[in-house]
Amino acid sequence: MDRRLYPLFDELAEAPLKATLLKVKPCKPEFAIGLNQAWHSRLPYAQRGPWILAFAATYRNNCFGVALWHNPSARNLPQDWLELRRLAVPLDAPHCTCSYMLGKMRLWIKSNMPQISKLISYQDIEVHTGTIYLAAGWTPAWIVRARVRDRSKPRQGTRRNYRCNSNGEAPDGSGKIRWEMTLGN
């Protein structure tokens, strides 16, 4: 998928020198899904929807980062929380793009969605270190150990099947750290 937002105006695509030159704004989820598929290191395939919120980080009509947000995937978590499900940037994105996006998205959500009390995200500990969350002021709150999931049978207590793991078994079963950011008023 082409990362350009407005291809007619994009003759010379260039990356900004600093992440702070990026404009981080809501975008259509379909746009973020397509670029997530091209850029995400571990989870390129994302559900089509419904997504509560999507963001793009742009510079001179070119995109250098996308993010997708939804209610928490763990059903026992409060529904006034919002979970960052995907955050992806291309290799030519400026240094600190992810942390910068986390900060700008937090501010936008706090201003425009006052019903949201906390932001969460899960870091895959097999391939990421959590640096972006630390730099953005998030707190590690929970560790989920690696596990093997058998999704070949229906869920217990129902005839419904599990959701597919279209990104493969490795990311699905790896250990994770849940990072949190309390919004407060």
Burial of 6 (0-12, 13-18, 19+ CB in 10 A): exposed
User: Could you report the per-residue pLDDT of 29-46, keeping only the tens digit for each?
Assistant: 999 999 998 998 777 667
Of the candidates 25, 185, 24, 26, the residue with the CA atom closest to the CA atom of residue 114: 185
pLDDT of residue 175: 80
Q: Are 154 and 161 in contact (CB under 8 A)?
A: yes
- Model confidence band, residue 10 (pLDDT cutoffs 50, 70, 90): very low
**Is the per-residue pLDDT at 11 higher than 50?**
no
pTM of the entire predicted model:
0.80
**Is the per-residue pLDDT at 146 higher than 80?**
no
Contacts of residue 18, Cβ cutoff 8 Å, sequence gap at least 6: 94, 95
- Model confidence band, residue 16 (pLDDT cutoffs 50, 70, 90): confident
The Cα-based distances of 146 to 5, 29, 93, 114, 149 in angstroms read 38, 30, 30, 34, 10
- Model confidence band, residue 7 (pLDDT cutoffs 50, 70, 90): very low
User: Could you report the per-residue pLDDT of 71-128, keeping only the tens digit for each?
Assistant: 998 889 999 999 999 999 999 999 999 999 999 999 999 999 999 999 999 988 887 7
**Is the per-residue pLDDT at 137 higher than 80?**
yes
